[in-house]
Amino acid sequence: MAENRASAYTEGVCCWVDAQLPDVEAGKRFYGELFGWSFDEQPAYGSSVWARLDGEPVAALAPKTDGRMPTVWTVYFATPDAEALAERIRAHGGQVVTAPMPVDGLGTIGLAADAEGAVFGLWQPGSHTGFGRRHAVGTFVWAELYARDTDAANAFYGGLFHDALFGPDAEPDFGRAPVSDVFPPEMPPHFLVHFRVEDCEAALGTVGRLGGRVQVPPFETSYGNVAVVLDNQGASFAVLQR
């Protein structure tokens, strides 16, 4: 089911994703054709571009400011108070990679890592609340945390976001699984951003034609048929057919 913009997402809900890329123009060509996105400049947001579907913001593509940075998709969790969340992250054994900082009235952004080192973002909304559209074809639909210790991951994220994950009204859109279920055992813990597609095999054909490649062939999960791919610059993400 598609979901349109909310005034603000509940703390602990995945509310935004962005990709750090060496070549944003190449990213626009790749994702524009794969998902039907259009783009507009957002100079206040780190000289990035926002991707839109049917006019609604669905993701951002940002230029890497340092070639040593990973080419990667990052998921952001909503919070009404990024500073308070950063303190809870430290108290639960995680680390704050980039301290929360304001972004020109759009909101407050931060970057953190959990106790195993999986990196995720924090977003405290200002004028930008996050996704204008999600769970629809061509938009964010799920984030999977691949961890070495899923019980420890449940304890960590449950301590941060209990109501969003385990509360009576919870509708979480991220899960936890052992790294070894899908990836080689030496793969570090990480979040994998999933985008919904109408047809997984057709999407893989488009990925290959655009210069990307399949990292993990399609496999069945409790939330749909998934394949993991690399874009034409090496950023990993998943396509999900429900």
Cα–chain center distance at 115: 19
Percent share of the chain, pLDDT over 70: 95
Tell me what the mean pLDDT of segment 69-90 comes to.
97
φ, ψ of residue 105 to 5 degrees: the values are 85, -15
Residue 2 falls within a domain, yes or no? no
Q: From CA 32, how far away is CA 28, in angstroms rounded?
A: 5
pLDDT grade for 46, boundaries at 50, 70 and 90: low
| Cα radius of gyration rounded to whole Å, the chain | 17
Tell me what the mean pLDDT of segment 208-231 comes to.
96
Range of the domain at 58: 11-241
Residue 211 falls within a domain, yes or no? yes
Residue 170 falls within a domain, yes or no? yes
**Largest pairwise CA distance in the chain:** 46
**CATH code: domain of residue 128:** 3.10.180.10
pLDDT at 141 over 70: yes
Number of structural domains in the chain: 1
pLDDT at 6 over 80: no
Tell me what the mean pLDDT of segment 32-56 comes to.
89
Name 199's bridge partners.
none
Tell me what the mean pLDDT of segment 49-60 comes to.
97
Tell me what the mean pLDDT of segment 71-88 comes to.
97
- Contact yes or no for 24/12 (Cβ under 8 A): no
Torsion angle defined by CA atoms of residues 46, 52, 55 and 58, in that order, rounded to the nearest 10 degrees: -90
The tokens of 147 are what? 């961890």
Residue 45 falls within a domain, yes or no? yes
pLDDT grade for 215, boundaries at 50, 70 and 90: very high
pLDDT at 1 over 60: no
- Contact yes or no for 215/229 (Cβ under 8 A): yes
Written as one letter, the residue type at 194 is H
Buried b or exposed e, range 87-116, using 16+ CB within 10 angstroms:
eebeeeebebeeebeebeebbbbbbbebbb
Residue 108 falls within a domain, yes or no? yes
Report DSSP state, residue 103. Answer: -
Q: What is the pLDDT of residues 9-25, one digit of tens each?
A: 999 999 999 999 999 99
Residue 3 falls within a domain, yes or no? no
pLDDT at 4 over 60: no
Q: What is the pLDDT of residues 92-138, one digit of tens each?
A: 999 999 999 999 899 999 999 999 999 999 999 999 999 999 999 99
The model's pTM: 0.95
The DSSP bridge pattern shows strands 190-196 and 140-147 to be antiparallel
- Contact yes or no for 164/10 (Cβ under 8 A): yes
Residue 6 falls within a domain, yes or no? no
pLDDT value of position 65: 85
pLDDT value of position 223: 87
pLDDT value of position 101: 96
Residue 47 falls within a domain, yes or no? yes
pLDDT at 2 over 50: no
pLDDT value of position 38: 98
Tell me what the mean pLDDT of segment 188-216 comes to.
98
pLDDT value of position 214: 98
